[in-house]
Amino acid sequence: MKIKENQNSFYGISTIKRLSLYVISDKVMNLLRPLSIDTPHARKVYIETYGCQMNFNDSEVVLSILQKEGYRYTERMEEADVILANTCSIRDNAEQRILGRIEQFAFQKRKRKGVLVGILGCMAERLKEELLENSTVDLVVGPDCYRRLPELLQLCEVEGKGIDTLLSREETYADIAPVRLDKNGVNAFISIMRGCNNVCSYCVVPYTRGVERSRDCGSIVREACQLFENGYREVTLLGQNVDSYRWTAGDGTVVDFADLLAQVAAVNPLLRVRFSTSYPSDISDKLLDVMASRENICHHIHLPVQSGSDRMLEKMRRKYDRAWYLERVRTIREKLPDCGLTTDIIAGFCSETEEDHRDTLSLMEEVGFDSAFMFQYSERPGTLAARHYPDDVPPEVKTRRLNEIIALQMRKSEERYAAQVGTTQTVLIEGPAKRGEGDLCGRASNYMMCVFPGDGHKAGEYVRVHINAATPATLIGEIE
């Protein structure tokens, strides 16, 4: 398969689509208020989200904040009074896409008087006032300033423009119950921390998200309880580096990520728990032991390796080397033999040679990931790499290397999925399959997507599925 310049690819994980259901008031978490209750003249807000799962969860927080001030959510941009884009800066193509989108928002503004356009998220944080130079953009709000959104929107009405991009050392939005935007009412995200304290030399996140801070453990467990009571059957705990989660309770007890995971898993045996992202030098044996000891903690780890070359890993300022990574994989497979393993890989980082590239291919061969997000290196202004290392791998070489990485991953995914044929998997049904009349889909514990005839079952139920066939991204089977 050929890939166009700077295009990214991922096999095996499909995007989760989402829809509004309800909001939970912040202090009294068990009081539900339907989102559909209309105030006749309520201002309507439309939001588009780009980037990672944490950004999706942030959009849910934003809607909760705005809804409390009387705004109403709409899925139709054409009827919105406020158009928001929650943006991503991770690679240049992510930003280019959003800049293109702003042009389409301009059309809405020309058509309907009084429409406000706001840019939120990482691009707002990175570009700040520069975004306001675009006449379409009225509002720029960074990831730690969402509580001020209602006030800033008012300011826009009066003064024409509004901006706040201050980063915080404390903000975790712990008391805000996100408006759930998932389509199926089965899986939900819970952000357990914000920011990142690592300084991977290629990465913009520490600059756009600020320093790492963990969220109050009690508020996370309460949110999980509430979701379970509302019919959700799977929660994914989110952070840039979940293994460094750390919360000191009032009595001085320290809760680390393994403790938190155990507490969330204890909410109910029918609530599945997943998490993302793990950092190779921080993932602990204690965590693996907790995963092995609870049925409802899914056996899947997303463990981004980035490169198989020690020279590249050092230059990327990742805090592990190839041998360390491979040792972690061995331990994972010893303790959790059926564990799904996925990763992120960057092709063509500064000064990468053919030998470095071959090291990445050989690591992929050795580990055999189920699937991977694979990217070409994209220089981000202001990062360590942008300041110190020339972006010197020619674009055509980056593309060729990425294509080789993708081709190898395709083969590995095929092997990994085929190896599940003949097994029986416990699957949490997410809803109708994209193709196949009457077919349902849902994930196995190891994160592989399964498709099977529905037999009268519905979303949110657990079924045992016997696997009869596989593609590189799907297991095909039937309920036992």
Q: How far is the CB of 465 from ligand SAH (least distance, A)?
A: 30
Q: With CA atoms as reference, report the closest residue to 44 among 11, 28, 20.
A: 20
91 binds ligand SAH (CB under 6 A): yes
- Per CB under 6 A, contacts with ligand SAH among 212-241 are 240-241
Q: Which two tokens stand for residue 340?
A: 């799904």
Q: How far is the CB of 383 from ligand SAH (least distance, A)?
A: 7
55 binds, among ligand SAH, ligand SF4, ligand F3S, none (CB under 5 to 8 A by kind): ligand F3S
Q: With CA atoms as reference, report the closest residue to 413 among 11, 97, 4, 33.
A: 11
377 binds, among ligand F3S, ligand SF4, ligand SAH, none (CB under 5 to 8 A by kind): ligand SAH
Q: How far is the CB of 203 from ligand SF4 (least distance, A)?
A: 3
C-alpha span between 428 and 300 (Å, rounded)? 14
Q: Would you tell me which residues interact with ligand F3S (CB under 6 A)?
A: 51-52, 54-55, 88-90, 121-122, 204-205, 208-209
Q: How far is the CB of 108 from ligand F3S (least distance, A)?
A: 23
90 binds ligand SAH (CB under 6 A): yes
- Per CB under 6 A, contacts with ligand SAH among 377-396 are 377-378, 380
Residue whose Cβ sits closest to ligand F3S: 51
In terms of CB distance, is 74 or 214 closer to ligand SF4? 214
89 binds, among ligand F3S, ligand SF4, ligand SAH, none (CB under 5 to 8 A by kind): ligand F3S
Q: Count other C-beta atoms under 10 Å from residue 161's C-beta.
A: 14
Q: How far is the CB of 122 from ligand F3S (least distance, A)?
A: 3
Q: How far is the CB of 198 from ligand SF4 (least distance, A)?
A: 4
283 binds ligand SAH (CB under 6 A): no
Which range, of 201-209, 282-290, 364-372, 417-425, touches ligand SAH by CB under 6 A? 201-209
* HEC string for the chain: CCCCCCCCEECCCCCCCCCCCEEECCCCCCCEEECCCCCCCCCEEEEEECCCHHHHHHHHHHHHHHHHCCCEECCCHHHCCEEEEEECCCCHHHHHHHHHHHHHHHHHHHHCCCCEEEEEEHHHHHHCHHHHCCCCCCEEECCCCHHHHHHHHHHHHHHCCEEECCCCCCCCCCCCCCCCCCCCCCEEEEECEECCCCCCCCCCHHHHHCCCEECCHHHHHHHHHHHHHCCCCEEEEECCCHHHCEEECCCCCEEEHHHHHHHHHCCCCCCEEEEECCCCCCCCHHHHHHHHHCCCECCEEECCCECCCHHHHHHCCCCCCHHHHHHHHHHHHHHCCCCEEEEEEEECCCCCCHHHHHHHHHHHHHHCCCEEEEEECCCCCCCHHHHHCCCCCCHHHHHHHHHHHHHHHHHHHHHHHHCCCCCEEEEEEEEECCCCCCEEEEEECCCCEEEEECCCCCCCCEEEEEEEEECCCEEEEEEC
18 binds, among ligand SF4, ligand SAH, ligand F3S, none (CB under 5 to 8 A by kind): none
206 binds, among ligand SAH, ligand SF4, ligand F3S, none (CB under 5 to 8 A by kind): ligand SF4
In terms of CB distance, is 89 or 474 closer to ligand F3S? 89
C-alpha span between 382 and 338 (Å, rounded)? 41
Q: How far is the CB of 346 from ligand SAH (least distance, A)?
A: 5
Q: How far is the CB of 149 from ligand SF4 (least distance, A)?
A: 24
Q: Residues 232, 420: contact at Cβ < 8 Å?
A: no
Q: How far is the CB of 247 from ligand F3S (least distance, A)?
A: 21
Site string for ligand SAH, 252-281 (x = CB under 6 A): -------------------------x-x--
Q: How far is the CB of 349 from ligand SF4 (least distance, A)?
A: 12
In terms of CB distance, is 185 or 239 closer to ligand SF4? 239
Q: How many residues bind ligand SAH (CB under 6 A)?
A: 17
Q: Residues 452, 424: contact at Cβ < 8 Å?
A: no
Which range, of 41-49, 372-380, 394-402, 419-427, touches ligand SAH by CB under 6 A? 372-380
Q: Would you tell me which residues interact with ligand SF4 (CB under 6 A)?
A: 196, 198, 200, 203, 205-206, 240-241, 279
202 binds ligand SAH (CB under 6 A): yes
306 binds ligand SAH (CB under 6 A): yes
Q: Which chain residues interact with ligand SAH by CB under 6 A? A: 90-91, 202-203, 205, 240-241, 277, 279, 304, 306, 344, 346, 375, 377-378, 380
